[in-house]
């Protein structure tokens, strides 16, 4: 049974957290989820469970960024279960987190999908139990580098082409390792590939700070960035400020994702290709 409550998105306030102690809201078999939530997970199966916690350092897939992966661990304390299974209450049990999504039914909750690493662990985790979340740090770093690099690319393209292409605008982006790209309104000709690469390189070499802040609609207006004001329906319940990411010296983006601290930490960022279709240009990129 889902417990009403909000999952605090700890990663949005401290992106350096790789471990976090929190408490369990609910544990549910994947097959018991509402259909809209089952549809969020393409690879969910009969042996999978979904855990909701009061806080999370796991970034749910969204905003073009893949979800984090890792583990949730705890010490069982159920004496009855211990006697039945022969396991020690001092032993650590774990749950492997393979995918994370925002709840489509209860939008303020975060769903952690995965599998218990032992059979007895299924019955040893309960509502209210204290658990530790542990990130796959290698994947988090890769996704953060890709996400910041995508913002760097978007900033570079805007700085060069905003006044060169009629109706120019930034549309959407993918920061997945195998399909990283930014899309723009307007036809960007191939001749711009080298200038875009040069501007990206410039931004990386400057080691521009990447800052996180929280803005009201008035903050956007004060900065002359009315065009960036998000739909208020995107605000989490009870919140009145939007999270923004500023690449100091370049652009500001409304963004809920994870990032590296300075642009040079993206690593070598290569503009791969510019593709055009129906008035939209897609600029793909990689990081090394």
For position 168, which CATH number holds? 3.30.980.10
Q: State whether 58 and 123 are in the same domain.
A: yes
SS (H, E, C) 146-162: HHHHHHHHHHHHHHHHC
Please tell me whether residues 161 and 122 are part of one structural domain.
no
Query: What total of structural domains would you count in the chain?
Result: 2
Mean pLDDT within 206-210: 98
Compute the distance between CA of residue 80 and CA of residue 70 in angstroms, rounded to an integer.
29
> What pLDDT is recorded for position 78?
56
pLDDT of residue 88: 46
Helices 137-161, 193-205: axis angle to 10 degrees equals 120
The yes-or-no verdict on residue 86 having pLDDT over 60 is no
Cβ distance 100 to 110 under 8 Å? yes
Q: Which tokens sit at 155?
A: 């900033």
Measured in degrees and rounded to the nearest 5, phi and psi for residue 154 equal -60, -40
> What percent helix, strand, coil does the chain show, rounded to 5?
25, 35, 40
Closest CA to 122 of 83, 90, 96: 96
Q: Is the pLDDT of residue 84 over 50?
A: no
- Per-residue pLDDT tens digits for 87-104: 444 689 999 999 999 999
Q: Are 156 and 203 within 8 A, CB to CB?
A: yes
Full domain range(s) for residue 224: 140-287
- In this structure, the answer to whether residues 41 and 68 fall within a common structural domain is yes
Same domain, yes or no: 215 and 277: yes
Same structural domain for residues 273 and 217? yes
H-helix or E-strand containing 182? strand 181-185
Of the pLDDT bands very low, low, confident and very high (cuts 50, 70, 90), residue 83 is very low
Last residue of a domain, one of 135, 160, 178: 135
Verify that 93 and 227 share a domain, yes or no.
no
CB 165 within 8 A of CB 195: no
**The pLDDT of residue 237:** 65
* pLDDT at res. 3: 40
Q: At 232, is the pLDDT very low, low, confident or very high (cuts 50, 70, 90)?
A: confident
Q: What is the pLDDT of residues 110-165, one digit of tens each?
A: 999 999 999 889 999 999 999 999 999 999 999 999 999 999 999 999 999 999 99
In a domain, 1, yes or no: no
Question: What separation, in Å, do the N-terminal and C-terminal C-alpha atoms of the chain show?
Answer: 44
Q: Is residue 172 part of a domain?
A: yes
State the pLDDT at residue 82: 47
The CATH number for 17's domain is: 2.40.30.130
Q: Tell me what percent of the residues of the chain surpass a pLDDT of 70.
A: 93
Residue 121 phi, psi (nearest 5):
-60, -25
Express each pLDDT in 261-285 by its tens digit: 999 999 999 999 999 999 999 999 9
**What gap in Å lies between CA 266 and CA 176, rounded to an integer?**
14
């Amino acid at each position: 049974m889902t417990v009403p409550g909000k999952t605090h998105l700890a990663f949005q306030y401290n992106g350096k957290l790789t471990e976090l102690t929190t408490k369990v809201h609910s544990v549910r078999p994947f097959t018991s989820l509402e259909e809209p939530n089952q549809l969020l997970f393409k690879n969910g199966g009969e042996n999978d469970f979904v855990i909701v916690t009061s806080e999370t350092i796991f970034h749910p897939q969204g905003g073009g960024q893949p979800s984090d992966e890792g583990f949730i661990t705890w010490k069982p304390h159920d004496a009855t279960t211990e006697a039945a299974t022969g396991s020690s209450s001092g032993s650590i049990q774990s749950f492997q987190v393979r995918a994370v999504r925002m709840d489509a039914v209860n939008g303020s909750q975060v769903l952690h999908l995965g599998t218990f690493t032992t059979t007895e662990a299924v019955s040893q985790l309960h509502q209210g139990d204290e658990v530790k979340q542990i990130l796959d740090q290698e994947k988090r770093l890769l996704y953060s580098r890709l996400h910041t690099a995508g913002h760097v690319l978007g900033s570079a393209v805007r700085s060069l082409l905003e006044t060169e292409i009629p109706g120019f605008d930034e549309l959407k982006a993918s920061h997945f390792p195998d399909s990283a790209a930014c899309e723009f309104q307007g036809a960007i000709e191939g001749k711009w590939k080298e200038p875009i690469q040069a501007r990206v390189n410039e931004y990386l070499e400057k080691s521009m700070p990447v800052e996180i802040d929280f803005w009201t609609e008035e903050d956007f207006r004060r900065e002359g960035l009315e065009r960036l004001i998000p739909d208020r329906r995107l605000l989490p319940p009870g919140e009145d400020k939007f999270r923004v990411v500023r690449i100091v010296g370049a652009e500001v983006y409304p963004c809920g994702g994870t990032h590296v601290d300075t642009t040079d930490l993206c690593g070598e960022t290569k503009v791969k290709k510019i593709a055009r279709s129906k008035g939209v240009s897609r600029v793909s990129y990689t990081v090394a």
